[in-house]
Chains A and B, each alone.
Chain A
């Protein structure tokens, strides 16, 4: 069975500071990991994904995520936060043999000016 956890309901960061949104997962086989962002009253937008290869994945809007197999984590990061990054962020996981992803509960990122 596959599962994903986003341990923080909300993350607060000052504009210009680095940000991290945490995600941990559990799968039986190889994980395929995804990050999405949702702005108010909008659908989810794809940010990045890890399938295989380099553990550091770069995505849209300057975001990146690091796959850590030993810690079963896939934290989302950005070196310098913008106020416009304020949104709801979802981590999702699929394991080999499944094409239905499991989504985390979401983390609200608030970037203060």
Chain B
């Protein structure tokens, strides 16, 4: 999956808990992204980061938080405020800061299930 790792592969959360999904890339990419995938809905953007110490909300940021303290790392926290967090979460990265032609490279995903 192109030098991007996500952990864990499967994650179970109890109601009211915060959980953090890890995403690491060794591609020296500036931009990183988090997507949520639900059956039949395609990919929806949660957060993205163009550069270290900067990130922007995507289409469905409510109930999620991120940080970008290092270029290679972009962890996603699913908070208790996210009412329906059960989904497949995908992290991606691309090389240039604002390169329209860049290909995104995706990690293998984390499947989060709320018990």
A contact residues vs B (CB 8 Å cutoff): 9, 32, 34, 36, 41-46, 49, 51, 90, 94-101, 103-106
Docked complex Cα distance between A99 and B103 (Å):
10
Q: Which residues of B contact A99 (CB under 8 A)?
A: 31, 50, 94, 96-100, 102
Closest CB of chain B to A41's CB: distance in Å? 7
CB of B48 within 8 A of CB of A100, answer: yes
Q: Identify which of A45, A97, A104, A106 contacts B106 (C-beta below 8 A).
A: A45
Docked complex Cα distance between A21 and B111 (Å):
27
Docked complex Cα distance between A44 and B98 (Å):
21
CB of B40 within 8 A of CB of A34, answer: no
Interface residue? B90 (CB, 8 A): yes
CB of A101 within 8 A of CB of B104, answer: yes
CB of A42 within 8 A of CB of B100, answer: no
A-B contact pairs, 17 of them (CB 8 A): A9-B40, A32-B100, A34-B104, A41-B88, A42-B108, A43-B4, A43-B106, A43-B109, A44-B90, A45-B1, A45-B2, A45-B106, A49-B103, A90-B42, A99-B97, A99-B99, A105-B41
